[in-house]
Amino acid sequence: MPLAQPLTIAVMAHLHHPIASPFPGGLEMHTALLTEELTARGHSVTLFAKGGSDGSGTVVPVLDAGFVFAKHPDGPSRDAQTRLLDTAQRTALDLINEGDFDVVVNNSLSPLPHADPPKAPMLTILHTPPLPRVTAVLEAAHFFPSPRHRVVSVSAANARQWQHHLKDISIVHNGIRLEGWHTSLTRRRPNTAVWAGRITPEKGLHVAIEAAALAGMRIRFAGPISDQDYFDRTIAPLLSESVHHVGHLNHSQLASFLSSGTVFIASPLWAEPFGLSTVEAMACGTPVAALPCGAMAEIIDDRGGVVAEGFSAADLALAIKKARRADSGGVRASAARFAAGAMITKYEQHLRELVSQDVLTAPGMLAS
């Protein structure tokens, strides 16, 4: 196949949520952006996803839109939920194998594409730290990595966590459409920090609230309440005139929200694989103050903000005070490193190389 020809690409989505705005997390946003940008470049893209998903290519629902993912179900409920998700991913793999796809992008987080790879060559994107069900497949005695399978990670920090399970992990940083995040219509609120993300313990919103108070700032935060118990027990008691939840915002609303802050606070308490909201804030010219977890030091340079020297709210408060003085033009320039076009070009190169390699090693080619 000549390299200039469009590819026929199957994309396997994570099935906890539909691929639709407002996105519950960075993985869903990444999947939507990937499918849209590849389609815009002339490729034929089919997205296998939960019902209710949107897409500029073809969308094939493999799980009912009415399914509601439970974050912490009990044993029997957890097992039933896992079986349901596996059945849906099995359906996606079967449909992909029945189709005529040049290559598959695995954004599913499922162990099934590793245990039983599709017939077409596959690119897996690592969006999370090692997942037990995936590593169990990779560590099985009978497992042998397929030469038709390539793996990339969204950050070097995340790749290091997988290096004991997978070899030859390439790095493709997440990207955003920079033009969609800069807005001149929103005036910055003085002395106000902003925070955005899923409201769960590992995202550290409670630390961000404490740090903002120590820095003498108000804080406004946006995002879905993904852990209601955490919100009710830990966050709700902190709400006040100085601590305000603006709700779960769509992309256009989120751009205005991020542009309204004097500083953006990133407070991950886990090994954050990337942190899209951090780059989105920088694209809005809003400097970032972050805890030193996961990929934060990898994506925040001296122009974009300040990474705290320690993990406490006091350490983060010091970073806030320093970051808020950053020049917004320099902050935007820092975000330009993560343009969507650059990300898609790298993915496209990986996909074309996989397809070319597959053609060259096909039985007919070898025989000739």
Q: What is the pLDDT of residues 130-184, one digit of tens each?
A: 999 999 999 998 888 888 999 999 999 999 999 999 989 999 999 999 998 876 6
Mean pLDDT of 193-207: 97
Q: What is the mean pLDDT of residues 194-223?
A: 97
The DSSP symbol for 306 reads E
Look at residue 72 in the predicted model and tell me its pLDDT.
79
Q: Picking from 68-72, 109-113, 212-216, 316-320, which range would have the lowest pLDDT averaged per residue?
A: 68-72
Would you state the pLDDT for residue 187? 77
User: Do 8-175+339-367 and 178-338 share a fold?
Assistant: yes
Contact 108, 133 (CB under 8 A): no
pLDDT at 259 over 80: yes
At 368 the pLDDT is 37
Q: Per-residue pLDDT tens for 315-366?
A: 999 999 999 999 999 999 999 999 999 999 999 999 999 999 866 565 444 4
Percentage of the chain exceeding pLDDT 70: 95
DSSP for 93-156, written as a single string: HHHHHHS--SEEEE-S--SHHHHS--SS-EEEEE-SSPPHHHHHHHTSTT----TTEEEEES-H
Q: Please tell us whether the domain made up of 178-338 is placed in CATH 3.40.50.2000.
A: yes
Residue 49, both tokens:
């996803």
Q: Cα–Cα distances in Å, from 322 out to 30, 49, 316?
A: 31, 43, 10
Please determine, for residue 280, whether its predicted confidence score (pLDDT) is greater than 80: yes
What distance in Å separates the CA atoms of residue 237 and residue 246, rounded to the nearest whole number? 16
Tell me if 296 sits within 8 A of 268, measured CB to CB.
Answer: yes
Distance between CA 230 and CA 113 in Å, rounded?
A: 33
Q: Whole-angstrom Cα distance, residue 346 to residue 13?
A: 19
For residue 222, is pLDDT > 80?
A: yes
What is the Cα–Cα distance from 65 to 79, expressed in whole angstroms? 20
Is 90 exceeded by the pLDDT of residue 267?
Answer: yes
Residue 183: its pLDDT value, please?
A: 65
Tens digit of each residue's pLDDT (9 = 90 or more) over 75-119: 899 999 999 999 999 999 999 999 999 999 999 999 999 999 999
- Looking at CATH, the fold of the domain delimited by 8-175+339-367 is given as Rossmann fold (3.40.50)
Alpha helices in the chain (DSSP H): 26-40, 75-98, 112-115, 132-138, 156-162, 205-214, 228-230, 251-259, 276-283, 296-299, 313-323, 328-335, 340-360, 363-367
Reference 99, options 224, 12, 222, 211; nearest CA is: 12
**1 or 338: which leads in pLDDT:** 338
Which position has the higher pLDDT, 25 or 83?
83
What is the model's pLDDT at position 334? 97
Beta bridge partners of 266: 290
In which band, very low, low, confident or very high, does the pLDDT at 57 lie, cut at 50, 70 and 90? confident
Q: Is the dihedral of CA 64, 68, 71, 76 positive or negative?
A: negative
Residue ranges of domains in the chain: 8-175+339-367, 178-338
Average pLDDT over residues 293-321: 97
Average pLDDT, the chain: 93
Cis peptide before 22 (omega within 30 of 0): yes
- pLDDT value, residue 184: 63
Question: Where residue 4 falls among pLDDT bands split at 50, 70, 90?
Answer: low
